[in-house]
Amino acid sequence: MKICHVCGVECEDNAELCAVCGADLTKTEQAEEDANVIKNPVLLATFEDVVSAEIFKDILTDNGILYSCDSDTADGAMQVTFGGSFVSENIYVNEEDFEIADNLYKEFIENEPEFDGEFVFDEEFEEE
C-alpha cells in the first residue's frame, strides 16, 4: 500500500491519484526533495522600507535563492498598520544559502541609494 504524501491515507500500490484528496501519487521522494521548499529557514534581514524589501527579494530571485517573508500573502497585498505605517518585513532563506544571501544583502545595503526627502528637479521638468 502507498501512503498519500498529502493527506496520509492508504492507497493501492498501483494508484496514480489519491482517492481522498486527488494528490499525484506518481511523484517520487526525490521529486519532493527537489521541490522549492525552504527546509531550514534562517532570518537573513529585516527591512523597515517596503520598497527596499521588494528590490532585495528581486535580487534573491535573480540569484536563484529561495526566500520566504512574513508579509507573503495569497494576494500579494502590503501590510499596513493603524495610522498608515508599513509593517517591517523579515526575510528568511535556507540555512545552506545564508552565506551567499548575506553577501548579497551587505552589497545591497552598501549600494542602496538614500533619499533625504528633498527632490531636486532640473529646470526643464519644473512646472510653469
Q: Please report, for the domain that includes residue 69, its CATH number.
A: 3.30.70.790
96 and 59, same structural domain? Answer: yes
Residue written as cell 495569497? Answer: 74
57 or 23, greater pLDDT? 57
What is the share, in percent, of the chain residues with pLDDT greater than 90?
27
- At a CB cut-off of 8 Å and minimum separation 6, what does 101 contact? 44, 60, 63, 65, 67, 93
Same domain, 105 and 65: yes
Average pLDDT over residues 69-97: 66
Model-wide pTM > 0.75: no
Whether residues 19 and 61 share a domain: the answer is: no
Q: Is the pLDDT of residue 36 over 70?
A: no
Least trusted range by pLDDT, from 7-16, 25-34, 89-98: 25-34
Alpha carbon distance 45, 42 (integer Å): 9
Task: Report if residue 82 sits inside a domain.
Answer: yes
User: Residue 119: inside a domain, yes or no?
Assistant: no
C-beta atoms surrounding 54 within 10 Å:
14
Give me the helices (H) in 1-128, please. 29-33, 50-62, 98-111
Asked if residue 71 belongs to a domain, the reply is yes
